[in-house]
Chain A
Amino acid sequence: MSYMFKQLSREWRFMLRQKYLLVLLGCAILISGFSVQSGLNEVAQQQQTIERLKAADVADRTDTQNKQDEIGMLAYYTFHLTYSPPSDLAFAALGERDIYPWKHRIKMLAIEGQIYESDTQNAELTQAGKIDFLFVISALSPLIVILLFHDLFANERSSGRHDLLVTTAKSPWALWGARGAIRFISLFLCLMLPFYVGAWVSGTSLVAVGLVSLCCFMYLAFWAILSVYWGKNANSGPKVASGLIGIWVLFAFITPILGDLAINKFVHSPKGGDIMLTQREAVNDAWDLPKEATMDAFTATYPEWKDHVAMQSMFEWKWYYAFQQVGDQIAAPISQEYRAASQKKYELAGYASLLSPPLLLQRVLTRLAETDAVAAHKYEQQVRAFHKTLRLYYYPFLFAQGEFDKGNLANLPSFDKFINKQHGVSDTDSAQTTNK
């Protein structure tokens, strides 16, 4: 044990005397620290936004409910905030929350006309991408590993010490193993320490921290081993590094770009705009169609209101909301197809990422942090389900005749309650494992 310690401490002292290694490690901890810091900021901003929106939402609804009395008008003007809060790991992997919307205002009109509304940030900044911990690990750290490990042998060879070192060392492991281990551990700690601080600040569960650490360890080890292997017989450090950077470019850019091109050629997706067009045309046409046409299509889905579809006037709210529902029904197949296509793309991207370690890591960590397309899709499903409960709440008042008592508004569905209930019922097992 003390022998091993001696080897390691020698290599540690050796490393401290090599300025460029220290510069590299310094850069690593600085960049990682900055990324964690800006990730924490971003998540804090998202949470504050949600809090502000929640307050605005309540005020907005109260105002509306004070102003409107008629059930149809209430349904028309009452918005409901829906949102998907960032997870406690989101600071490390901001993922695609800047592309997929995570907040909506939903009302009783056709959902297909509302769900695609995007509330994204400054497009020019989104295009540049953000620096989060995941980016530092998946894209940057391989480069730092390459710079640290490519000349493990070549450096000694070119300075003419290689053979001397090999013959005087007790075993190759005592020399190269210790040297590699010291560099690896130092880099690992420099990159991970900011993450651990961030995780502690945002109260991330130990399981998640452990999983992230494991993934990062394996990922860094992969690049370290590759770098050492690639350079084991080489004399010229830069040549080794050029090759390794070439591999990095291949993994980080070329494979993903080719995968993206192939997937987009292979999966045919309807145009998003066509969904809205179909829905809008359906809703607009309904004004000129015989009322029965709309009501028949409506009662096909909700037969319980079959006996309440007769109309006294040319305009009644129940008919208005019935054709909103029918608009959704008509747009449903193409909307399904659109979602199926994006799921298919996500699935295929999974296979593509098997050929690209940086993407594989991104995929795994954004999944853990729930900031990927799957999480966005799940949120969309929640919004759709919540919209349905809104409909189920309003339909009895709209279709069953009689005055609407505003006291009933107390039972108006709320997204908060809806989510809690959903979690309470279906997610008890997973909640046990992920809760701290």
Chain B
Amino acid sequence: MSEHSSSTARFAKMMVVAKDEWRYWLRSKLAISVLAIGLILTLSSVVVTAINTMELSHTRHALQEDAEQTFADQPDRHPHRMVHYGHYAFRAPSPLSVLDPGVDAYTGNSIFLEGHRQNSAMFADQKQGTALTQLGSLTPAFILQTLAPLLLILIGYSSVSRERESQTLTYLLSQGTSGFTLIAGKGLALMSVIGLILVPVAISALFSLHEGESITAIVGFVLGYALYLTVWALLVLLCSSALSKNSESFTALALTWILLCVVMPRVASSTAITTVPAAGKLETDFAVAAEMRKLGDGHNANDPAFAQIKASLLEKYNVDSIDQLPVNYRGVIAMTSEAKLTQVLNEFAEKRMQTELAQTDVSRDFGWLSPMVAIRSLSMLTAGTSIETHHKFLREAEELRFDFVQGLNKAHVEQLSYQVDMNRNKDTDSGQKARVNAQNWQVLDDFSFAVDTPSLRLQRGAPAFLQLLAWIAALIIVIRLVGKRLV
């Protein structure tokens, strides 16, 4: 009972300290302007990014439907013409990309799909950029990850050291407030600022419910940022109570911020690139081309590489020449070589994606050294704007590509006779004959890209959560030690 009443008394004291801190901020011009600037920045970033993303989402859905319609509307043609005519896959942005666009601006968000090759995603927004936003862009993620900690430092660096410098600390302590209660009270005040910063973000995140985002992902996302900013509040409290002067506390915090928020993320990515070198697409293209020459050119049914297929086909249908086959030999060759080629292409693509993941893992491990790296990964992972989502898009687009190309090849095999096909270039009439009905262009599956399930995304974010929690635990332990010795 007495323990309970002492803990409520302690909490009441913490509240008094927190309220006092707020009173100090409201009186101080610096703190109030920092707070105002912080809120304005967060709000405007939320609004600007939301408008951009909504535009993008709508255009991409419309573009996808357009592309499907255009494909289906093509006239009767030789099926292989449609293989080269190709199709597009568009990646609609994930709902939470409103708050963290992640890699979206760098990957490009549409892919041209055609026979015989895997194109890279094209037209990343950055290429048509002004190069002005290299240091940071007006996204809520950037504001929260980089600038919000600075804001906490600017208003909190003197929270305890100020009391010491103005000699009110000994007074407070001798009044029966324990060192830890004092620090906790100041912490409470900082936490209320964090809450204030997170309000617009949380509201904007809730709006993405409407776009089909799950509440779990939203909670995970906002919680991640709350943990991250808590790390900073703790760092501020630690420096402010461990160092004896305001100026020392400030310098230490500023330097910490520079190292953790500005230097570390870049050190992480530079280290990742140099420790896990990745062959570019061009290099794998050469390797693929070499493999392909072994497989034979699917356009040329006389390629000696196909002799075996020919023999087994003749045997299967028990005929002497390819003219007598009930199926179109050219079509069969196109179909088989597309399948083999795709296998090779997928092997290389998979290897490349694994390398990229290995690189990303190296850079994410820096989250143990910098909470900023941890929240960066966590934020992109839960928002579904990380490299994994891009890879998912590449894989699904490839599936779409393979399906429609083979669908067309099937029409080539079954609906176009070999003789007609061979005579296609003889004159206009035979050219007209060597076509299949436009009905066959319905081979396209409806493509609509969705990010991974919330549980999978959160599962991927688990290490980053752990990193943040480890930071918090370590800081609380150190602060308790410092709090005991506070004089």
Is B470 part of the contact surface with A, judged by Cβ < 8 Å? Answer: no
Is A11 part of the contact surface with B, judged by Cβ < 8 Å? Answer: no
- B270 near A52: Cβ-Cβ < 8 Å: no
- A60 near B128: Cβ-Cβ < 8 Å: no
- A129 near B266: Cβ-Cβ < 8 Å: yes
A105 to B120, CA, bound (A): 13
- B273 near A271: Cβ-Cβ < 8 Å: no
- A124 near B281: Cβ-Cβ < 8 Å: no
Is B85 part of the contact surface with A, judged by Cβ < 8 Å? Answer: yes
Nearest residue, chain B, Cβ from A315 = B425
A244 to B471, CA, bound (A): 29
Known A121-B280, A130-B270; contact A252-B386, beta-carbon cutoff 8 A: no
A254 to chain B, nearest CB (A): 8
A143 to chain B, nearest CB (A): 5
A127 to chain B, nearest CB (A): 5
A102 to B263, CA, bound (A): 27
A139 to B128, CA, bound (A): 23
Residues of A within 8 A of B247 (CB): 151, 154-155, 158, 236-238
| B residues 116-149 in Cβ contact with A at 8 Å | 119-120, 122-124, 126-138, 147
- B266 near A131: Cβ-Cβ < 8 Å: yes
- B424 near A119: Cβ-Cβ < 8 Å: no
| B residues 271-297 in Cβ contact with A at 8 Å | 271-274, 277-283, 285-287, 289-290, 293
- A124 near B363: Cβ-Cβ < 8 Å: yes
- A345 near B255: Cβ-Cβ < 8 Å: no
Q: Mark A37-57, 1 if CB is under 8 A from B, else 0.
A: 010011001000100110011
Which of B158, B255, B428 touches A238 (beta carbons < 8 Å)?
Answer: B158
Which of B75, B120, B147, B268 touches A249 (beta carbons < 8 Å)?
Answer: B147
Which of B124, B277, B356 touches A118 (beta carbons < 8 Å)?
Answer: B124
A137 to B157, CA, bound (A): 26
Residues of B within 8 A of A359 (CB): 132
A313 to B426, CA, bound (A): 6
Is A20 part of the contact surface with B, judged by Cβ < 8 Å? Answer: yes
A60 to B386, CA, bound (A): 35
Nearest residue, chain B, Cβ from A116 = B122
A84 to B363, CA, bound (A): 28
Residues of B within 8 A of A67 (CB): 293
B43 to chain A, nearest CB (A): 14
Is A152 part of the contact surface with B, judged by Cβ < 8 Å? Answer: no
Nearest residue, chain A, Cβ from B154 = A242
Residues of A within 8 A of B129 (CB): 99, 260, 345
- Which one of A272-280, A413-421, A423-431 contacts B? A272-280
- Which one of B13-21, B107-115, B334-342 contacts A? B107-115
A34 to B268, CA, bound (A): 12
A314 to chain B, nearest CB (A): 4
Is A9 part of the contact surface with B, judged by Cβ < 8 Å? Answer: no
Is B24 part of the contact surface with A, judged by Cβ < 8 Å? Answer: no
Residues of B within 8 A of A60 (CB): 286, 289-290
Residues of B within 8 A of A99 (CB): 106, 124, 126-127, 129
Which of A34, A140, A338 touches B262 (beta carbons < 8 Å)?
Answer: A140
Q: Mark A340-369, 1 if CB is under 8 A from B, else 0.
A: 011001101100110000110011000000
Residues of A within 8 A of B270 (CB): 34-35, 38, 42, 130-131
A260 to chain B, nearest CB (A): 4
Nearest residue, chain B, Cβ from A239 = B30
A271 to B266, CA, bound (A): 31
Nearest residue, chain A, Cβ from B303 = A67
A276 to B134, CA, bound (A): 27
Residues of A within 8 A of B363 (CB): 124-125, 128
| A residues 385-430 in Cβ contact with B at 8 Å | none
Nearest residue, chain A, Cβ from B155 = A242
A67 to B250, CA, bound (A): 70
Is B485 part of the contact surface with A, judged by Cβ < 8 Å? Answer: no
Which of B123, B271, B426 touches A116 (beta carbons < 8 Å)?
Answer: B123
Nearest residue, chain B, Cβ from A349 = B130
Which of B48, B85, B272, B278 touches A261 (beta carbons < 8 Å)?
Answer: B48
A42 to chain B, nearest CB (A): 7
Residues of A within 8 A of B258 (CB): 27, 140, 143-144
Is A103 part of the contact surface with B, judged by Cβ < 8 Å? Answer: yes
Is A233 part of the contact surface with B, judged by Cβ < 8 Å? Answer: no
| B residues 50-87 in Cβ contact with A at 8 Å | 75, 77, 81, 84-86
Which of B85, B128, B269 touches A125 (beta carbons < 8 Å)?
Answer: B269
Is B439 part of the contact surface with A, judged by Cβ < 8 Å? Answer: no
Which of A38, A63, A100 touches B127 (beta carbons < 8 Å)?
Answer: A100
- A119 near B431: Cβ-Cβ < 8 Å: no
- B150 near A245: Cβ-Cβ < 8 Å: yes
Is B254 part of the contact surface with A, judged by Cβ < 8 Å? Answer: yes
Is B265 part of the contact surface with A, judged by Cβ < 8 Å? Answer: yes
Nearest residue, chain A, Cβ from B259 = A27
Residues of B within 8 A of A241 (CB): 250-251, 254
Interface residue tally of chain A, by bracket? 35 or more
Is B267 part of the contact surface with A, judged by Cβ < 8 Å? Answer: yes
Known A117-B119, A123-B387, A353-B132; contact A42-B286, beta-carbon cutoff 8 A: no
Nearest residue, chain A, Cβ from B102 = A127
A313 to B122, CA, bound (A): 36
A143 to B157, CA, bound (A): 17
B300 to chain A, nearest CB (A): 8
A156 to B287, CA, bound (A): 67
- B274 near A38: Cβ-Cβ < 8 Å: yes
Residues of B within 8 A of A144 (CB): 258
Is B248 part of the contact surface with A, judged by Cβ < 8 Å? Answer: yes
A227 to B259, CA, bound (A): 21
- A49 near B283: Cβ-Cβ < 8 Å: yes
| B residues 294-338 in Cβ contact with A at 8 Å | none
Nearest residue, chain B, Cβ from A158 = B247
A35, A252, A273, A280: most-surrounded residue (chain B CB, <10 A): A273
A130 to B356, CA, bound (A): 16
Is B406 part of the contact surface with A, judged by Cβ < 8 Å? Answer: no
Is B246 part of the contact surface with A, judged by Cβ < 8 Å? Answer: yes
A14 to chain B, nearest CB (A): 17
Residues of A within 8 A of B269 (CB): 124-126, 128-131
Nearest residue, chain B, Cβ from A144 = B258
Is A135 part of the contact surface with B, judged by Cβ < 8 Å? Answer: yes
Q: Mark A236-275, 1 if CB is under 8 A from B, else 0.
A: 1111011001000100110011011101100001011100
A120 to chain B, nearest CB (A): 7
Which of B157, B283, B425 touches A56 (beta carbons < 8 Å)?
Answer: B283
| B residues 427-444 in Cβ contact with A at 8 Å | 427-428, 430-431
A71 to chain B, nearest CB (A): 15
Which of A242, A272, A288, A342 touches B75 (beta carbons < 8 Å)?
Answer: A288
- A143 near B254: Cβ-Cβ < 8 Å: yes
Residues of A within 8 A of B272 (CB): 122, 125
A143 to B134, CA, bound (A): 17
Q: Can you sample 27 A-B contacts with CB below 8 Å? A: A20-B252, A23-B255, A34-B270, A53-B286, A56-B286, A99-B129, A116-B123, A119-B120, A121-B273, A121-B278, A123-B103, A123-B107, A123-B387, A129-B265, A130-B273, A131-B266, A135-B266, A238-B250, A241-B250, A241-B251, A249-B150, A260-B129, A273-B123, A287-B77, A314-B426, A314-B431, A358-B135
10 smallest CB-CB distances across A and B, nearest first, come from: A272-B123, A131-B266, A238-B250, A314-B425, A56-B286, A125-B269, A123-B103, A256-B132, A38-B270, A128-B269
